[in-house]
Structure 1
Amino acid sequence: IEQKLDKQLKLYPGTHLFITQGSICKNAFGETDYLKQGGSDYTAALIGVALHAKEIKLWTNFAIRNNDTLVIKDADTIRNLSYSEAERLIYFNPQILHPFCLATARKGNVPIHLLNPMNPMVEGTYISDNLQNGEAVKAIAAKDSAVYIRFESNHTLRPYLFISKIMEIFAKYRTNPCLLTSSNDNISIVTDNKEFLSRILRELNRYAQIWVEDRMSIVSVVGNMKSSCIAMENRIIDALKNIPLRMISYGSDENDVSIVVRGTDKAEVLRLLDEKLLKPEYFGKAC
């Protein structure tokens, strides 16, 4: 793309504005194809990286807020995000930005600037490799309709083979675990893909006792969660001390602490975390 684009630009010396299609492309067979939703974002990232651009500006109606606006009406727009933080938030709301767009920009280290065409004077959200160390918590995000599954080994397999077998069956049915925790012969998994879940459970039933809870929610605190932020996990747990938690995932990266709760508790969890982590008296304090 970089080679062909350079050749095209050289045909028009002195020209500063070029207009091109966003979602129409050619596939591997040379046929006209369509990149579907978010394809124009992906195209912009490919061209921006190929040109070694200063930044990629994307005009979108989907602002990145620091909480669910259906629960927290006054949720603020996030001004700065690292690539990793943005990746976590896009997982919860894919409409914000195409994942391939973010991955391409990240690989080329070209910042993305999200702007609102209905309010062009607003600063928007800037996504780059800058971790913004002074701001520990950037956002609280949630995903509904998750399923919590706990596998307790019946000792048909040795522990290392038991873990391997569970991952093998999930991979067989192309079902991605959203979160996973394990302890010796017990494994807990949360997934939001139910298409082949009955088949997965049927195959794994011979190796384990299985408990399933549907209508669960994944809630993530997203930000710069460095291991030196000792107080952060304490504040999260303290805020939710009266909420039954099914799973806590922390330490897999430095940008996310995730918990699993009943869907009926989600709104209360978002309100409690907003009050303890995002309100002015707390925001930016930590580390």
Structure 2
Amino acid sequence: MSFPCCEDDQGDHDPNAYRLTEVVLVGPAPAPEERESRPEVLLRNGAKYTGQWRGNLRDGSGTLVWPDGASYVGEFCEDVAEGYGKFMQPEGDVYEGHWVADKAHGKGKYIQVDGAIFEGEWVADQQHGHGQETWPDGSTYVGEYLEGKKTGKGIFSWPGGSKYSGTFKDNEIDGEGTYDWSDGRRYHGQWSKCKMHGIGTCVWPDGRSYEGHYHYDKKHGYGVFRWPDGSRFTGEWQNGKQHGPGTKLRLTKNRWT
């Protein structure tokens, strides 16, 4: 069993791969307490800044453009991006939201050029807290992030109708949760690295069910399998098959045989 959310995660973004704090090459320096707008100023790395200053520090609203085409439009405070702003990468990715000390921090939205979108909370340039991701194929994730990765409780939905609701760790389904397939099957139980692993219960739409141990997506260990007619097998399993000691009971004319 494979899970697209685990195979090609979009969760690791760095909206601030550029240094926003630069040394000014030219420009007058008014009294420190005054804020004023000035014409374009050239910075040491070739970037150009147009906007407000307080003394020799960028402070207020401004626009910073790098030689490769990247740009930041937004608020500065004491020469660092702080407040609300929009950062655009040369290849087209965009982050728009809150900044603290030159880093995406607070509520923000990251749009990739391929159409993937993250909207939620950031801490020091990493997705951290609650957020939502959407992909061009219709897949969605709503839940918790920790240091740039899906970690904690969340819901991942696929365009075909399948859905997982439960815990994640490092961008993988891991812990306890429920997976509903589009064909009506449901598994609730323990997971490890995007596979059913541990104790869980699987129910089929025709009434069959299995409750017991799994080992990386296969019935393995002690478990009970039940059929719609009331029959059941209780015993050991290995690699998805009945193996070793076990008892199979069949209900015939109201009697167990």
Higher share of residues assigned helix = 1
Q: Which has the higher contact order (CA 8 A, sep 6+)?
A: 1
Structure label with greater radius of gyration? 2
Q: After TM superposition, is the score higher than 0.5?
A: no
Query: How does the TM-score come out when normalised to structure 1?
Result: 0.24
